[in-house]
Structure 1
Amino acid sequence: MDWFQTVVLALIQGLTEFLPISSSAHLILPSQLLGWEDQGLAFDVGVHVGTLAAVVYYFRQDIWSMIKAFFASFKGENSADGRIAWFVIFATVPALIFGFLINDWIDAYGRSILVIAGTTLIFGALLWYADSTRTEVEPLENITFKQAMWIGIAQAVAIIPGTSRSGITMTAALMLGFTRQAAARFSFLLSIPIIMAAGSYKGLELWQTGTTAQWEYVLGGVVLSAISALTCIYLFLKWLNQIGMLPFVIYRFALGVLLLGVYFFA
């Protein structure tokens, strides 16, 4: 790697992790389109740490309230924060199971430009439908176990590159009648355990393989991905009600068509 690749890949990770446009697709594309070599496990772990730090910092007050309410629930105290904490845990399970079962298959067959183009277009259209037909009646505090699990099942599908974890979870939440803000907030909270799991898995793999790394680039990736992710979360939640999902849908359609062009004509 060099510093140019470090900056580009770290910014891609930070900006796309929480936008409904698929971070995995964008991290695969530089190698597919520009011929860049794989950035390596250490860098992958680093940018995951950066985005995790960003979302934890932004939601630090919510997380602290959920942690306190989670332990209070063992004493029989019932609260919205406690229920959300439990639902985040349960809703993470489908993605962990799905990832364990088909991760090797995805690595072998799911990272092609054609697959990314297809999922980008299909789930972009689904996001447009969910946002344009939304009812927006439910705040996050009213979420039920069944609704949380449907969102968790949707998250499991995001292991397929191009789907977008944040995109499909917000799509599911909008279809279930939640407000845009509630959909985004639950999606971001749900990202915390799944990013931790992905980072831990890659970290374990890094430790087992004993891969060497250029640690100055890894550290740069951590910092840049954290700053860009924090900025992205702040601006996305600030502007979400005004701009809606349409700009991201248009971007996904344009990207999907571009990728199809590259696949069939390049």
Structure 2
Amino acid sequence: MIEALILGLVQGLTEFLPISSSAHLRIVGEFLPNAADPGAAFTAITQLGTETAVVVFFWRDIVRIVSHWFGSFTGRVPRNDPDARMGWLIIIGSVPIVVLGLLFQDEIETTFRSLWIVATMLIVFGVILGLADWSGRKVRTLDRLTYGHGLLFGIGQALALVPGVSRSGGTITVGLFLGYERAAAARYAFLLAIPAVFGSGLFQLVKSWGEPSVYSLVETGAATLVAFVVAILVIAFFMRWISKHSFLPFVIYRILLGAAIMVMLATGVISA
């Protein structure tokens, strides 16, 4: 139970920062007494807690988007209404991760969880995030988000199926390259993650029911609750941070962590 709670804390702290929560769960799991990969199912289920934090934090926005989206079908709301349009953008942006998640389900749960891959993705996508933050014009707001850009955001999110990329990091990186403001890219990234994370978490919950795993459902549930509480605080911090600061600290952290993991793998301290 203590191990599960530690992993829940890690999940809550890292889910919305562009440093990859799945990578951190994979890495931290190696240093706990069980010295085991928590598994894709544990990761997906605890993400339900962090994603519930998004729903709570952006509750008013979500209610408005959903109601206007449905209202656009009955004529109560114009079809070009910004919130109704955002509903379609979230749907379109969710397509890539659904398709790729189903196509590469086995690899996501096995091959992609190699720590060599995790470490490489931390470094490579850390550098790419840094380049995007440095070169992006950061002038576009969400009301200028096109359907084409929504799909590209979705592809960025889908890359996070590989631990080490980061769901928020991949999505925000695409947004920065497309010229969106940091806060706008992050806001859409958080909203875009809701269908994907809830879908993945519920799928893994049903799939893992009754199957043996490193942590029981009770322990996984406790970790999910901890992740929820911590994530609310992290979202509030992150949204304030990016309105005034660059992503450089996260880029440096990713590169250093990836390099440290590679050194430990090469010296036999941990196993891939």
Q: What is the TM-score of this pair, normalised by structure 2?
A: 0.90
Aligned CA RMSD, in angstroms, stands at: 2.0
Task: Indicate the residue corresponding to 1:235 in structure 2.
Answer: 237
Match of 1:159 in 2: 161
2:222 to 213, 220, 223: 220
**In 1: Cα distance, 2:9 partner to 2:244 partner:** 24
Counting matched residue pairs gives: 264
- Residue 37 of structure 1: how far off its partner (Å): 3.4
Contact 1:13 1:23 (8 Å CA) reproduced: yes
Aligned partner of 1:136 in structure 2 is: 138
Distance 1:188 1:32 in 2: 28
Aligned to 2:71: 72
Aligned counterpart, 1:107: 109
Contact 2:65 2:83 in 1 (8 A): yes
Q: Which runs of 5+ in 2 are unaligned?
A: none
2-side partners of 1:104 and 1:177: how far apart?
35
More deviation, 43-52/204-213: 204-213
Selected match of 1:201 from 203, 209, 230: 203
Q: Deviations over 1:31-86 (max 9, x none)?
A: 33445335478854652231121010000000011011101221351211111111
- After TM superposition, give the deviation of residue 222 of structure 1 in Å: 2.6
Contact 1:180 1:241 in 2 (8 A): yes
Alignment correspondent of 1:98: 100
Q: Is the aligned partner of 1:18 residue 2:16?
A: yes
Kindly state the Cα deviation for residue 195 of structure 1 after the two structures are TM-superposed: 0.8
How far has the Cα of 1:213 moved from its partner? 6.5
Give 1:6's aligned residue: 4
**2:264 equivalent in structure 1:** 262
1:52 is matched with which residue? 51
The ranges of structure 1 where at least 4 consecutive aligned residues each deviate by more than 6 angstroms after the TM superposition are 210-213
- Kindly indicate whether the alpha-carbon contact (under 8 Å) linking 1:32 and 1:113 is maintained by their aligned counterparts in 2: no
Q: Does 1:253 align with 2:255?
A: yes
Q: Secondary structure at the match of 1:110?
A: helix
Distance 1:121 1:264 in 2: 16
Name the SS for the 2:227 alignment partner. Answer: helix
- Find the aligned partners of 2:26 and 2:44 in 1 and give their Cα distance: 15
1:20·1:248 contact (CA, 8 Å) conserved in 2? yes
Deviation at 1:211, TM superposition (A): 7.2
Which residue among 122, 147, 150 is the counterpart of 1:148?
Answer: 150
AA aligned to 1:8 is I
For 2:46 and 2:112, the matched residues in 1 are separated by 22
Gap change, CA 1:72 and 1:103, over 3 Å in 2: same
Inter-partner Cα distance in structure 1 for 2:158 and 2:215: 30
5+ residue gaps, structure 1: none
Q: Distance in 2 between matches of 1:168 and 1:43?
A: 21
Separation in 2, partners of 1:224, 1:111: 24
Task: Show the counterpart of 1:177.
Answer: 179
Q: 2:258 and 2:43 mapped to 1: Cα distance?
A: 24
Per the normalisation by structure 1, the TM-score is: 0.92
Shift of 1:241: 2.2
Instruction: Determine what percentage of the aligned residue pairs are the same residue.
Output: 37
CA 86–174 in structure 1, closer or farther in 2 if over 3 Å, else same: same
